[in-house]
Every structure is written in structure tokens, then in C-alpha cells.
Amino acid sequence: MSQPGSPAWKPGVLLAIVVSSALAVWALGPIEQNLSYHAFADTRTLFGIPNGLDVLSNLPFLIVGVLGLRACAVAAPDPIRHAWMALFAGVALVSLGSAYYHWSPTNDSLVFDRLPMSAGFMALFVALLGEALDRRLVRWGLVPALLLGMASVVYWAMFDDLRPYLWVQIIPLLTIPVVMLLYRGRLAHGWWLAAALGLYLLAKGAELLDAQVYALSLELFSGHTLKHLLAAAGCYCLVLIQRGRCRPLQPV
């Protein structure tokens, strides 16, 4: 189903990445959710909101999600637009799910954070495949991919095994550089895609250094708060891709 002029081996590379990454993650054995994950560095109450900055820093996701949906709505009709719209809907819903989770961090509330995240990851994966291989992939692949993503969260909630959810997070991150390398001529404004990947990786780094960032900032903000802001900035790069489809990029 590759586009005309595409060497037959290129889709095979993508398929190999999908299969090998799934097998590698599954071979790790069950991965339980470490309950220390819920112990964030900044637990200050702001304006009556517990864990205030970790809650309020989700607002940019809502703004970016709405901007992304608006950019898709005014773009030229295209089957792949549905995948991008699903992505931005997921980004907007992350603002609600993540805020709910950070208000009272538990495994139960974390489900509502991860459900829209998983949908967003899989929507991005399908969008990338559609851009690189064939836009028709979106028509039959988007809904199953979204269901697969959300099923990975349900599986974790039922069996306390993060492996499927881990794969859902990893696969679009692996796909981005491969698609950029193999299909660079087909990606609109690919530099924004690279920027989005870079910002997301920085966000994950900030998440891992939650307490260290909190200390270095003189307790102004934590690594997890910074993670939200960096991840939202990465999502905004994807908004700029959509804007570039219909007119020269303009600042908001």
C-alpha cells in the first residue's frame, strides 16, 4: 500500500520496527506501576487546588488541543486530517484527565490521564503512517488504533502490567525519525515534527528529574510541571504543521 515511487523495502522497515518493538517490550516481563510514581516533588496547594502547579500546568494542553482542532478544521479536506483531529482531541482531553489525576494522584485517577494520552499516541502513529505510506491507512486503521491504545490502559488497570501501554508510547517516538529519514519528501514541515520529538524527550527528562528541577528552581516549579509545559510546546509544533498545510505559518 506504499505510494508510487516508494521502494518496497521502506514499508518493510516500518513493519519490522512495529513488530520488533512489540516483541522486545513483551519480552521484558510484566511491569507493575511503581506507587512511588505518585509521589511528586511539588505538593503545594494554590488557590485551594492541591498540587496546584501540577494541576494548573495542564491548561496549555487544552489551549493547544483547541488550536490544533481549529487548524485541522480550516485545512483542505484530506483523509489524514481525521488522524490529526483525533490527536488534538486527545491533547485537549489530556488537560482534563491529567488535572484530575494530579488533584489526587492514585492508580485509579491515573487511568483518566492515560486514556486520552494513549489515544493521542496512536492517532499520531496512524497520521505518520498515512503521511509516509498511504492516506487510505487512516480510513481503516484509525479507529482500531485508538481502541488498541485505550485497551492498553485498560489492560494495565486490570492486570497492573504496563507493557502494552509502554509500547503505545514508544512506537510513535520510534516512527518519527524513521519516517523523517525514509520519507522526508512527503512530510509537510518536517522540522516541526523533529522539534516536537525533541521537546517531548526533554519533557520526559524533566519528569525523571522532578525533585532535582524543583530544588534547582528554588522550589518555584518542579520537573513534572516543566514536563507538562514542554510536552504542550511539542504538541504546538504539530499545530504548526497543520497550519502550514493551508497557508504560510503565522504566530498565534
Task: List, for residues 58-84, the tens digit of each pLDDT value.
Answer: 999 999 999 999 999 887 677 889 999
Cell numbers 492517532 correspond to what residue? 123
Spell out the domain ranges in the chain: 48-246
**Closest CA relative to residue 117, chosen from 159, 89, 137, 136:** 89
pLDDT at 249: 38
Q: Topology of domain 48-246, per CATH? A: Rhopdopsin 7-helix transmembrane proteins (1.20.1070)
pLDDT at 74: 85
What mean pLDDT, rounded, does the chain reach?
Answer: 91
Q: Supply the DSSP string of 76-116, one letter for each residue.
A: PP-TTHHHHHHHHHHHHHHHHHHHHHHHS-SHHHHHHHHHH
252 confidence band (pLDDT: 50, 70, 90): very low
Condensed to tens digits (0 to 9), the pLDDT of residues 172-193 reads 999 989 988 888 767 767 789 9
Indicate whether 7 pLDDT > 80.
no
Of the listed ranges 9-23, 184-198, 220-234, the one predicted with least confidence: 184-198
- R_g of the chain computed on alpha carbons: 18
